[in-house]
């Protein structure tokens, strides 16, 4: 049995290298196994891999969500694919995208990716653990319409003008949502240009919709338009246009080819 465990650990270690994860987890796993041996638990109950290999989707309802956030979320969820009671799929126009706190945590890609796969790195919008403190959001895409909508609830740590959301936080969300749509439509991209008109101050803690749509694609350029409104769409907070340029993976390693 111990031999099996050792072999399994060896596999996990190998898998970890393939996955580009650093050695910290392995050491923690090893420690966990050692302490498990000391407490003489039945060997069948020792978890061989105590960490979930499934990434956590941060765009799920949580207790920090206001009733308005939940209502907007439920509205779009109802427009996504559903399973009826016969287990048949009913097609909906919208699709909810998952959202992880490390974009390439689960990628495989050899030694080059190790430059980016640092255990402490986090996606900016998902970097604060406290639920509701910063960016609570969910993105839904509509493939037919080449558009997306994000339900966004701002948290107390995003204050700019007293009682209102910081312009940089709004820009972050616009970059995230327009970039998500551009990436969904065009593959790997980077933001080349972002133009923002702030029309009305956004109260801190409010829930807004960030609507993005494809304007046009010209060669490597994907142009996206964006409007940020109240959930009933009666109030316009922000308008933006964004340009994304398609890149090769080599671009992230300093190559322009």
Ligand X SMILES: CCCCCCCCCC(=O)SCCNC(=O)CCNC(=O)[C@H](O)C(C)(C)COP(=O)(O)OP(=O)(O)OC[C@H]1O[C@@H](n2cnc3c(N)ncnc32)[C@H](O)[C@@H]1OP(=O)(O)O
Name the residues that contact ligand X, by CB under 6 A.
103, 175-176, 179-180, 190-193, 219-221, 243, 245, 247, 251, 256
Catalytic residue, candidates 57, 175, 197, 232: 175
Q: Output the 3-class SS for 72-92.
A: HHHHHHCCECEECCCCCEECC
Q: Which is nearer to ligand X, 24 or 107 (CB)?
A: 107
Q: How far is the CB of 249 from ligand X (least distance, A)?
A: 12
Q: Which is nearer to ligand X, 66 or 121 (CB)?
A: 121
Q: Which is nearer to ligand X, 200 or 255 (CB)?
A: 255
Q: How far is the CB of 94 from ligand X (least distance, A)?
A: 18
Distance CA 179, CA 185 (A): 10
Q: How far is the CB of 8 from ligand X (least distance, A)?
A: 31
Distance CA 20, CA 16 (A): 6
Which single residue brings its beta carbon nearest to ligand X? 179
226 close to 240: Cβ distance less than 8 angstroms: yes
Residue 232 falls in the annotated catalytic set: no
248 close to 241: Cβ distance less than 8 angstroms: no
Distance CA 173, CA 166 (A): 11
Token pair 């009682």 in the structure block, residue:
163
Q: Which is nearer to ligand X, 134 or 176 (CB)?
A: 176
H and E: helices and strands count for the chain: 4, 9
Show the DSSP H helices in the chain as ranges: 2-19, 23-38, 67-77, 167-186
CA–CA distance from 79 to each of 58, 95, 149, 195, 212 (Å)? 20, 8, 12, 30, 17
Q: Which is nearer to ligand X, 48 or 97 (CB)?
A: 97
Distance CA 10, CA 3 (A): 10
Distance CA 165, CA 158 (A): 6
Q: How far is the CB of 29 from ligand X (least distance, A)?
A: 27
Q: How far is the CB of 106 from ligand X (least distance, A)?
A: 12
Catalytic amino acids?
Answer: 175
């Amino acid at each position: 049995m111990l031999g099996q465990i050792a072999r399994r650990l060896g596999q996990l270690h190998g898998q970890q290298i393939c996955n580009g994860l650093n050695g910290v987890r392995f050491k923690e796993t090893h420690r966990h196994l050692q302490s498990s041996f000391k407490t003489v638990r039945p060997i069948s109950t020792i978890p061989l891999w105590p960490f979930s290999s499934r990434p956590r989707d941060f765009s799920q309802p949580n207790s920090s969500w206001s009733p308005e956030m939940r209502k907007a979320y439920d509205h779009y969820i109802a427009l996504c694919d559903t399973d009826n009671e016969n287990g048949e799929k009913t097609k909906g126009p919208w699709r909810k995208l998952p959202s992880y706190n490390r974009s390439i945590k689960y990628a495989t890609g050899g030694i080059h990716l190790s430059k980016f796969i640092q255990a402490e790195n986090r996606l900016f919008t998902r970097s604060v653990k406290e639920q509701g403190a910063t960016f609570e959001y969910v993105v839904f895409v509509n493939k037919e319409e080449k558009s997306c909508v994000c339900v966004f609830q701002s948290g107390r740590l995003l204050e700019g003008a007293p009682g209102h959301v910081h312009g940089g936080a709004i820009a972050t969300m616009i970059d995230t949502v327009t970039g998500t749509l551009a990436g969904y439509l065009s593959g790997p991209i980077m933001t080349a240009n972002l133009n923002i008109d702030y029309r009305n101050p956004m109260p801190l803690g409010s829930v807004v919709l960030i609507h993005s749509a494809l304007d046009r694609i010209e060669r490597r350029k994907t142009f996206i338009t964006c409007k940020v409104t109240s959930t009933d769409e009666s109030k316009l907070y922000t308008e933006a246009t964004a340009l994304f340029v398609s890149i090769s993976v080599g671009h992230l390693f300093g190559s322009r080819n």
